[in-house]
Structure 1
Amino acid sequence: MSLVARWCLEHLGSAPVEELFSSGHLSTVIGLRLADGREVVVKVRPAAPRVAACVEVQRRLFQAGYPCPEPLTGAAPFGDDIATAEVYVPGGDVLPRADHAPAAFAEAFARLIRLAPGPAEVPALAPPPSWADWNQPGNGLWPRSEESDVDLDAVPGAEWIDEVGRRARDRLRVGGSRAVVGHSDWLAGNLRWSEDALLVVHDWDSLTVDGEDVLVGFAAALYSTVAEEKLATVGETRRFLGAYGEARGRALSTEELRRAWAAGVWTRAYDAKFQHAAGKPITALSENEARERLRRAG
């Protein structure tokens, strides 16, 4: 019997009879149909204490009525790694209608922030995912990626990325709003829609704790209105931030807006630095867009 089959039998009470899909980026993700008829997703990744905390937040969000897959297990050993299981939620559209996308993505994010437990109510979610770890200790600017051991601070070239990343980080280190639990990877590929209604949000390993303005800034810079592989334009980020304020019932203050813009610059600059280090085309951020976003960050 395979390790997957043994794990399912032990933790789900039923062995798999069919593999529905298999994929993976930072985790190995396997869709399975079990002998008892259930369809589940098993995720395998390196062991880390924050995984159990992410599952607990996901469980509480599901119980509160948020559209996320229902967790079926906690974090359980899987050989040298750790695995979790959740209900398989198939289907859905990648995007809502383009003219409604900023409001749809922003309203979904505001609902998540509203329903998520407070940081003190759940186990620690530290450390943040690398693309959200703007305030790492030490003198370095860029955290190590989960995908590579390359020291991004030591990679030469494209110095403009380091400059905009440093300016965004320094802006974020001044002020700050209340700490909340939120999703740090609000990419279109992690959400599915039924017309304009949110069907499901995936990738709950991307949960972290940060200021509401920072997490909103990440989301506003990462979502897309046109295609899964695209990122928000300056105008789309502006519309998301306005829609988020309407959805939470209180417009973002001038300071919150500036920090949100700075957060978006930092996470996009981090991705740009990683693309440069990997020898790939830099698509996450351009110099002109960075300047405009930093201008809005004050």
Structure 2
Amino acid sequence: MSPRALAVDPGRLAQWCLEHLGSPPAGEIFTSGYLSAVIGLRLADGREVVVKVRPDSPRIAACVEVQRRMSQAGYPCPQPLTGAVPLGCDVATAEAYVPGGATLPSSDHAATAFADAFAWLIRLAPRPAEVSTLDPAPSWAAWNHGGDGLWPCPEGRDVNLNEVAGAEWIDDAGRRARDRLRAGESEAVIGHCDWLAGNLRWSGDELLVVHDWDSMTADSEAVLVGFASALYSTVSADELATVEDTERFLAAYCHARGREFSAGELEQSWAAGVWTRAYDAKYQHTVGQPITSLSESEARDRLRRAGAGSRRP
């Protein structure tokens, strides 16, 4: 059960392209999307672009600004062609189309490749004070949300994860991870909170492009690295990092940044990984999907590394 995809009127989209890109569409390359409608277009002037349409939010303008700065700094991301511009009741942005690339680098170098790419992103990203608000964080990264209950509201779904009983081990893992995250405070940086293999493309072991710049958020470096180290893949885009994969990513990231995390920062990273995967597991349980994002035994293993323990031995 996925959120209902946005329906985009072709005539309205054509007029938007003419007004904001200077040329109407001549053909469609692809359509996709989960929380947004993502449409690849070939314009009448020959350019190939991607238009993304989603419900309006103040954070979208900041995400586009981060993407623009990263593109100007030489980071491999699609060049933004517009700001966040209304399209009907929603908001749309356009970027250059970057086709091709493999979903994964070679398995022998996956941890280093993903970690190096993330360290490069963190190093080049603007400071949070340099852009407008990136709040609220996407739900899978909103461990410190201001709402009631343990879990934030999922985007695109009228469900309350806090009202759904069952799979108590997921709630326990999420609560313990959140409490460990709240025990540490560090300066916020900007990073990508959805470092899934599906959002990156590779040319061999070289990074070709990073997509999904709506997933920018501000949090401590250790937390953002923790999300990435738990979400990336090494052998298949459908399989999230194992505990050993996360260990390799964290070691490679610290090597790339040129200094080690403290023991407390490492625990924060492990806790962040537990929280984001527990959130996804809770969502899967709530909507009746198989729970694939986290297992009970893996949650216990990761929580031990986070210094958050578990009720069970």
- Name the TM-score class by shorter chain: over 0.9
Residue identity opposite 1:99 in structure 2: D
Alignment partner for residue 123 of structure 2, among 110, 114, 136?
Answer: 114
Match of 1:25 among 6, 10, 34: 34
Pair 1:74-2:83 in alignment: yes
1:242 has 2:251 as partner: yes
Conserved? CA contact 1:20–1:31, under 8 Å? yes
Shift of 1:138: 4.2
Contact 1:41–1:85 (CA under 8 A) maintained in structure 2: yes
Amino acid at match of 2:102: D
Whole-angstrom CA distance in 1 between matches of 2:297 and 2:33: 33
- 1:188 is aligned with what amino acid? A
SS of 1:281's equivalent in the other structure is coil
Question: Which stretch of the first structure deviates more once superposed, 171-180 or 59-68?
Answer: 171-180
CA shift, 1:230, in A, is: 1.1
Partner of 1:195: 204
Q: Determine which of 2, 12, 19 is the counterpart of 1:3.
A: 12
**1:177–1:256 CA contact under 8 A, matched in 2:** no
TM-score (norm 2): 0.94
Q: Structure 1 residue 17: deviation in Å?
A: 0.2
- Show the 5 A alignment for 1:1-298: 2-298=11-307
User: Residue 41 of structure 2 aligns to a residue in which SS?
Assistant: strand
Deviates more, 1:244-253 or 1:185-194: 244-253
CA distance in 1, matches of 2:282, 2:147: 19
Q: Distance in 1 between matches of 2:184 and 2:196?
A: 26
**Cα offset, 1:177, TM superposition:** 2.6
In the alignment, the residues of structure 2 paired with residue 241 and residue 213 of structure 1 have an alpha-carbon distance, to the nearest angstrom, of 10
TM-score, normalised with respect to structure 1: 0.99
Q: Segments of 4+ in structure 1 off by > 6 A?
A: none
1:95/1:101 contact within 8 Å kept: yes
What's the RMSD between the two structures over aligned residues?
A: 0.8
Letter of the 1:147 partner, please give it.
G
C-alpha separation between the residues in 2 aligned to 1:34 and 1:139? 46
Unaligned 5+ segments in structure 1 are none
The residue matched to 1:7 in structure 2 has which SS?
Answer: helix
The alignment partner of 2:30 has SS state of strand
**Corresponding letter in the other structure for 1:269:** A
Partner SS for 2:122 = helix
Structure 1 position 242, deviation (Å): 0.3
Contact between 1:176 and 1:213, CA under 8 Å: does it hold in 2? no
Task: Please list every run of 5 or more consecutive structure 2 residues that lacks an aligned counterpart in the other structure.
Answer: 1-9, 308-313
Instruction: Tell which deviates more after alignment, 139-148 or 60-69.
Output: 139-148
Query: Is the Cα contact below 8 Å between 1:188 and 1:228 reproduced in 2?
Result: yes
CA distance in 2 between partners of 1:242 and 1:274 (Å): 30
8 Å CA contact 1:21, 1:32 repeated in 2: yes
Q: Displacement of 1:139 after TM fit?
A: 4.0
8 Å Cα contact 1:31/1:42 also seen in 2: yes
Moved more, 184-193 or 132-141: 132-141
CA distance in 1, matches of 2:231, 2:293: 9
Matched residue of 2:107: which SS? coil
For the 8 Å contact 1:103–1:244, the answer to whether it is kept is: yes
SS in structure 2 at match of 1:247:
helix
SS in 2 for 1:284: coil
Percentage of matched positions with identical amino acids:
71
Query: What amino acid maps onto 2:221 in structure 1?
Result: E
Question: 1:3-50 CA distances to partner (integer Å, 9 max, x unpaired)?
Answer: 111000000000110100001100000000011110000000001111
User: Which amino acid letter does the alignment assign opposite residue 120 of structure 1?
Assistant: A
Instruction: Tell me if the contact between 1:242 and 1:252 (Cα under 8 Å) persists in the aligned partners.
Output: no
The letter of the residue matching 1:67 is P
State the one-letter code of the partner of 2:232: Y
**Secondary structure at 1:20 match in 2:** strand
Give the length in aligned residue pairs: 298
Inter-partner Cα distance in structure 1 for 2:183 and 2:218: 17
